[in-house]
Structure 1
Amino acid sequence: MILNQAGTRRFRAYTSKHLDELLQRAGLGDDERLKVRAVATVLPFRTNAYVVDELIDWSAAPYDPMYRLVFPQADMLPETDVARLADLLKAEAPNAEVQAEANRVRAQLNPHPAGQMDLNVPRIGDEPVPGLQHKYPETVLIFPKQGQTCHAYCTYCFRWAQFVGDADLKFASDDIGQMVDYIQRHPEVTSVLITGGDAMIMGEPVIRRYIEPLLALEQLESIRIGTKALAYWPQRFTTDPDADSTLELFSQVVAAGKNLAFMAHFTHPRELESPLVESAVRRILDSGATIRTQAPLIRSINDDAGVWSSMWRRQHRMGMIPYYMFVERDTGPQDYFAVPLARAYEIFRDAYASVSGLCRTVRGPSMSATPGKVCVDGVTEVAGERVFMLHLIQARDPSLVGRPFFAKYDPAAVWLNDLRPAFADRFPFEVRESLQLA
């Protein structure tokens, strides 16, 4: 075990080169480990000592939810693709041949859902601004070049394409001047979200380079930081060498009159149990920041109402604000992890009904789709027809926000593009798109 001067454990990452050794702890045989390694040539794998030693119940692996949260599964990809890659690994084929096959499989997995590489790209004049996304009028997403990894990768992650080493699949920038220039040119922007990867993988001096210039922009009301560090490496805010200076930076943001919202990803109640997490949460809240929690609904990991109500209650007791239950996005191994929308609504409804009003700040189940964040409000019968009730929580076209619409009921539907309009020829966002093209 690696210790720092304070006697606490330092960060240690595990990557694909450690995968076979770790899989033996899960009791997997040779053939099964080979298949998992095959999947890991397509989808990224990274974890760390805290997750491996503190969060995973190895006696329950490979069925333990925390194990399934970070370790690839042999059946996450089509069987023929896995078999082909496994054969290449077994034959010790040249790396270039393995990567060529892995790239072929990746191309079939919709690596950039919701138009991330085209529809959301902002411009100054005719020039694109790399590393920014501007999907909604008031909000700009910032992808720091130095934040394009995480303390550990989630197997369901919709940004998996950022982590596979293909420059054509990445969007990131370290041109902070250009970032500030773009925001100043758009006075409608009142909020920025610093994301990645994981923004908190960056050290305090680097985060400061991105945040300090934003404090001088009077138009900005809030700065959000997207991270799973509280779940995967809470030491980032307690014993890491720059933990104190990071929290001082948070206080500086609040003192500048900006709302600092810490967007924390918690996928399972076990991630909240460590005293380290309680300490980290307390220190962040003491800086003046707020913590809002969110996660997707993931089959075999948290597809149970009791899991969600437990998470929301504990988060509330710790001073955090339950914010979103997301639907697994239409990318990567969606077929493996997706929960049908009808079932997702039932899980959300049952969990929501079992918590107090103070936990009912949470919204969902929500799809972050191309038109915006589409929320499934329920299943009902209208004019003798069973339908989904939906509305847009957020939209590219702000005039559509909050307006209810209906889709034909489909018990197998897992995403917006599986649905068909009810009582209309088109969904409201499709009508607006057709008018814009006319």
Structure 2
Amino acid sequence: MNWKEEVRTNITKASELREYMDLTDSQVEHLDRILSQFPMTVTRYYLSLINWDNPFTDPVFRMCIPSIEETDLSGDFDTSGEADNTVISGLQHKYSQTALILSTHRCAMYCRHCFRKRLVGISDDETADNIEEMAAYVSQHSEISNILISGGDAFLNSNQVIRRYLEQFCSIPHLDLIRFGTRTPVVLPMRIYDDPELLALLKTYTQKKQIYVVTQFNHPNEITHEARKAIKALLDSGIVVKNQTVLLKGVNDNSQTLGLLLKDLTRCGVIPYYIFQCRPVSGVKNQFQLPLKQGYEIVEAAKHLQNGQGKCIRYAMSHVTGKIEILGPMPDGQMLFKYHQAKYDRDKGRIFTKDLAPGQAWLDDSI
């Protein structure tokens, strides 16, 4: 099967999970109620990584199969203010040097911790079908030095659409690089290693503008032979591959697991550069978020297990006001933070401290 045929065999209904596990009729009905609001789609490949003898403690299961905790809608559906940063349909301009494009609402697998649950698999209201208009905006804003083509998943676009993006944006002189945000190396690696047309396309255009692929491996069990094969195919095509991990309760919330993940990534040529605090998204917050103090301790202990490449990571949160690095505790018990990227000039490089309440997992907007 090619990757499109593979996606067509995805598990999307609660009743289809009976192929893998025992579910009562009432459990199926409950899952169906969750899926009516937050859809599920999981590749057969990704399902094969689950330990079905004990699925409820399996980290891969936790990332792809709905939980009753998703019915807790405390939090916010847009924790980073994406709607406020949208300048034209599908294009956000939050940081002066970066334009973010939501190219599709489709993914090969819908992550249960997704911070775009309001959008992914549900609505194409915020996604782009106006590539030329977006390219014109970027052309008129010389401060923009890079674009991030995301979604959904940028590699769920057809090769023809990906070519259109590359044709339009590679011709803009002030762009230094083009990034694609995709989780296909993790959940659908054959999309990459079994698609010579895509690889040829990337290899051709990275000669004109350096292309980066930004992916998201969250657990060592995701770094399989197939995943390494996809990574190698990208590297052999001249692509720089970087990884952003989300710190998730019940998935990678201990230093040994996180440390092994970072070591495995650097071993196969992937550069880990962010460990993100899970966002307080409705249907996600109470299921996956860890307190900031605990998160800092986990990340620091994992960093101590790394060589120089693995130590490059930053523990950060994507706050409505910018990317804020979590630097650690002060002698007086306060936590030290620094703006790594800022939406407003007044915050650029700003260092500040905060008293955190017990269990606090996010910063409010009044910082």
- 2:307 is matched with which residue? 356
Within the alignment, does 1:33 sit opposite 2:8 as a pair? no
Residue 205 of structure 2 aligns to a residue whose secondary structure is helix
The alpha-carbon distance between structure 1 residues 322 and 406, as it changes in their structure 2 partners (threshold 3 A), is same
Q: Do the aligned residues in 2 keep the contact of 1:131 with 1:143 (CA within 8 Å)?
A: yes
The residue type equivalent to 1:320 in the other structure is V
What amino acid sits opposite 2:351 in the alignment?
P
Aligned to 2:79: 113
Shift in Å, 1:166: 4.3
Aligned equivalents of 1:22 and 1:301: distance in 2?
Answer: 21
CA distance in 1, matches of 2:198, 2:98: 24
- Cα pair 2:202 2:239 within 8 Å, conserved: yes
Change (3 A) 1:298 1:272: same
Paired AA for residue 63 in structure 1: T
2:59 matched residue in structure 1: 65
Q: In the TM superposition, what whole-angstrom CA distance separates every residue of 1:276-300 from its partner, at most 9, and x where no partner exists?
A: 2111111101111100011211111
- Structure-1 separation of matches of 2:170 and 2:70: 43
Task: Give CA-to-partner distance per residue, 1:214-246, whole Å, 9 cap, x none.
Answer: 11101000100001000000001122xxx1121
Q: TM-score, normalised by structure 2?
A: 0.94
1:414 match:
361
Query: Any conservation in 2 of the 1:13–1:46 contact (CA below 8 Å)?
Result: no
Is 2:102 the partner of 1:143? yes
1:325-350 deviation per Cα after TM superposition (whole angstroms, max 9, x unaligned): 10111212211111000111011011
Percent identity of paired positions between Structure 1 and Structure 2: 28
Q: Which has the higher helix share?
A: 1
- Given that 1:26 and 1:62 are in contact with CA atoms closer than 8 Å, whether structure 2 keeps it comes out as no
Q: After superposition, where does 1:94-105 map in structure 2 within 5 Å? A: none
CA contact (8 A) 2:85 2:93 kept: yes
Q: Alignment partner of 1:282: what SS?
A: helix
Which of the numbers 336, 353, 356 marks the counterpart of 1:389? 336
From the superposition, tell whether residues 23 and 387 of structure 1 become closer, same or farther in structure 2 (CA, over 3 Å): farther
Q: How far apart, in 2, do the equivalents of 1:34 and 1:276 lie?
A: 34
Q: What SS does the corresponding residue of 1:153 show, helix, strand or coil?
A: coil
Aligned equivalents of 1:408, 1:375: Cα separation in 2: 16
Alpha-carbon distance in structure 1 between the residues aligned to 2:358 and 2:142: 43
Gaps of 5+ in 1: 79-104, 123-128, 419-425, 428-438
> Partner residue of 2:198?
246
Structure 1 range deviating more: 133-142 or 20-29: 20-29
Classify 1:355/1:177 alpha carbon distance in 2 versus 1 (closer, same or farther; 3 Å). same
| Preserved contact between residue 190 and residue 222 of structure 1 (Cα < 8 Å) | yes
Please list, as runs of the form range in 1=range in 2, the aligned pairs for 1:285-434 lying within 5 A after superposition: 285-333=235-283, 334-364=285-315, 366-381=316-331, 385-398=332-345, 400-417=347-364, 427=367
Q: Please state if 1:134 is matched with 2:86.
A: no
Q: Secondary structure at the match of 1:72?
A: coil
**Larger radius of gyration between Structure 1 and Structure 2:** 1
Q: Equivalent residue for 2:168?
A: 213
Distance in 1 between the 2:118 and 2:26 partners? 27
Contact 1:379 1:409 in 2 (8 A): no
Provide the secondary structure at the position in 2 that maps to 1:163.
coil
- 1:165-220: CA deviation from partner (whole Å, max 9, x where unpaired): 346xx311211221111011110000000000000011211110111111110100
Q: Give the aligned length.
A: 366
Shift in alpha-carbon separation, 1:9–1:204, aligned structure 2, 3 A: closer
Are 2:176 and 1:203 aligned? no
Q: Any idea what SS the aligned residue of 1:136 has?
A: coil
Secondary structure of 2:118's aligned partner: helix
- Report whether the alignment pairs 1:157 with 2:105: no
C-alpha distance 109-343 of structure 1, shift in aligned 2 (>3 A): closer
Query: Structure 1 residues 247, 24: CA separation in 2 closer, same or farther (over 3 Å shift)?
Result: closer
Matched AA of 2:260:
S
Change (3 A) 1:332 1:288: same
Change (3 A) 1:9 1:137: closer
Between the aligned partners of 1:372 and 1:266, the Cα distance in structure 2 is: 23
> Higher relative CO (CA 8 A, sep ≥ 6), structure 1 or 2?
2
- 1:39-62 CA distance string (max 9 Å, x none): 22222211111112x211111112
Q: TM-score, normalised by structure 1?
A: 0.79
Aligned pair partner of 1:233 in 178, 183, 188: 188
Q: Which amino acid aligns with 2:200?
A: E
- In structure 1, distance between residues paired with 2:132 and 2:309: 41
SS at 1:189 equivalent: coil
Give the letter aligned to residue 305 of structure 1: S
Provide the rounded CA distance (Å) in 1 between the counterparts of 2:236 and 2:16: 41
Code of the aligned partner of 1:289: I
Q: Shift of the alpha carbon at 1:140?
A: 0.2
Give SS of 1:260's match. strand
